[in-house]
Amino acid sequence: MTYGRLVTDQTSPAATDPAAPAPDPASTPTEGPATPSAFAAHLPLAHSMLDRAAHRRTEEGLFATLRADPSTRVVLLHRGRLAVGPDGLALATPQEVAAVPEPHAASGDHSNTPRWVFLGEDPPSGTSFLALLLPDDADDLDLDIEGVDPKGPLSVLVRTHRWAGLRELASRLGPRDTGLATEAVALAAWHAANERCPRCGEPTVPVAAGWVRRCVAQDVEHYPRTDPAVIMAVVDPGSGPGDDRLLLGHAAHWPEGRFSTLAGYVEPGEGLEQAVRREVAEEVGVTVGEVVYRASQPWPFPASLMLGFTATALTTDLTPDGEEVTDARWFTRAELTDATERGDVKLPSRSSIARALIEEWFGGPLAGE
């Protein structure tokens, strides 16, 4: 049960490396699962190397100090998308954003106000990083009454950069930029959703370098939240070596042919292993026994932390719930190979923990989109 929000860990599929050798689909991997640390190496959004330097968030005049430092770099976001260049993120210099004002906290924070967030520091270089969250209407904010664009600083930033979503970029960025992008996208989504206090409805203003929002009426502080979600590769061990099968499901809102591992949010008062067993039972009617943790990955769409598991099925009859999951199938390695090569089954992208779980069971990279 996901209370109106289906956790999918899905993205547009990424291209498979044509040079990557495919394992023998009829064979079972001769070695056991990779260690959690080795498995996590396949999760691009889990590779952050940034020191978030939380002790600096309450430093007086932090934004002014960092904006005066020519070594500071700024991540630009607009409508949830990141400014990109030919080699990754297009990190702006303080000079390039010098004309963008800092909002005045006392006046409230509005949808057409740029927001600044301190992201942290890169330990090897000592570089500090900020995020500049541009308002949605930044590209047309500066048109005057006659429709003339006076080249305001927000419009210039939007119109002079190329923009891409984190889903598109995740598998192409290095560890530093991945960490910066993931952190910035998550905070941008949180700020956009919390301009007013959930307790009284009055405006909130950003403080603590963008990591806290304070209600102006009650002086109550609100902090970013992360929603834990379990995602699991459910395996039927079969009767012997090579007989094991993987369970994949098709969510109601996905395009035809899209299949992935099952997933769902952790409910209040529930342990992670309990959540795995409950979600699998609710969505496809399968009883799960052993549950083994593999690794986690942030998934800021808008605020999830995906906790990956493998789970051993004790029953194999499939009964999709018809609401969240409309189709579910067991696949042998040979069946999954054939289905992905024909294009009948489309897997999640390589930026997702779902793809990593599937390919760990399979024993290597799979063909497909």
Per-residue pLDDT for 163 more than 70?
yes
Residue 128: closest CA among 139, 117, 137: 117
Q: Looking at residue 367, what is its pLDDT? A: 77
Model pLDDT for residues 170-203, shown as the tens digit of each residue: 888 999 999 999 999 999 999 999 999 999 999 9
> With bands split at pLDDT 50, 70 and 90, how would you rate the model's confidence at 82?
very high
Q: What CATH architecture does domain 58-210 belong to?
A: Alpha-Beta Complex (3.90)
pLDDT tens-digit readout, 16-66: 333 334 444 444 444 556 777 788 888 989 988 899 999 999 999 999 999
Residue 140 in this model has a pLDDT that exceeds 70:
no
Per-residue pLDDT for 6 more than 50?
Answer: no
Q: Which two tokens stand for residue 20?
A: 């990557």
- Angle, CA 215 vertex, CA 142 and CA 299 arms, to 5°: 75
Superfamily grouping for domain 36-43+226-362 = Nucleoside Triphosphate Pyrophosphohydrolase (3.90.79.10)
Per-residue pLDDT, averaged over 114-125, amounts to 94
pLDDT at site 198? 93
Residue 295: its H or E element: strand 288-299
- Residue 28, pLDDT score: 43
pLDDT at 266: 98
From residue 124, how far is each of 111, 181, 245, 338 by CA, in Å?
A: 36, 18, 45, 46
Give residue-wise pLDDT tens across range 276-309: 999 999 999 999 999 999 999 999 999 999 999 9
pLDDT over 60 (residue 216): yes
In this predicted structure, the answer to whether residue 87 has a pLDDT above a threshold of 90 is: no
Share of the chain above pLDDT 90, in %: 72
Query: Which of 249, 254, 243 lies closest to 264 in space, CA to CA?
Result: 249
Q: Phi/psi of residue 91, each to 5°? A: -85, 120
According to DSSP, the β-strands at 73-78 and 81-85 are antiparallel
pLDDT value at position 240?
A: 79
pLDDT recorded at residue 137: 85
Comparing 302 with 103, the larger pLDDT belongs to: 302
Which of 235-239, 260-264, 340-344 has maximum average pLDDT? 260-264
167: tokens are: 């889903």
Residue 14 has pLDDT above 90, yes or no: no
Q: How are beta strands 128-134 and 73-78 bridged, if at all?
A: parallel
Least confident of 112-126, 198-212, 326-340: 112-126
- Give the pLDDT confidence score for residue 172 in this predicted structure: 87
**Nearest residue to 58 (alpha-carbon basis) of 191, 206, 207:** 207
Which amino acid belongs to residue 136?
D
Q: What are the residue ranges spanned by the domains of the chain?
A: 36-43+226-362, 58-210
36-43+226-362 and 58-210 in the same fold: yes
Confidence of residue 104 (pLDDT cuts 50, 70, 90): low
Q: Please determine, for residue 88, whether its predicted confidence score (pLDDT) is greater than 50.
A: yes
Q: Is the pLDDT confidence value at 124 over 60?
A: yes
For all residues of the chain together, what is the average pLDDT? Answer: 87
**pLDDT band for position 90 (cuts 50, 70, 90):** very high
Q: Where are the alpha helices (DSSP H) in the chain?
A: 36-40, 62-67, 153-159, 166-169, 175-193, 272-284, 333-342, 353-362
pTM of the model: 0.85
- pLDDT at residue 103 is higher than 90: no
At 368 the pLDDT is 61
pLDDT band at 164 (very low <50, low <70, confident <90, very high): very high
pLDDT of amino acid 146: 53
Is the per-residue pLDDT at 352 higher than 90? yes
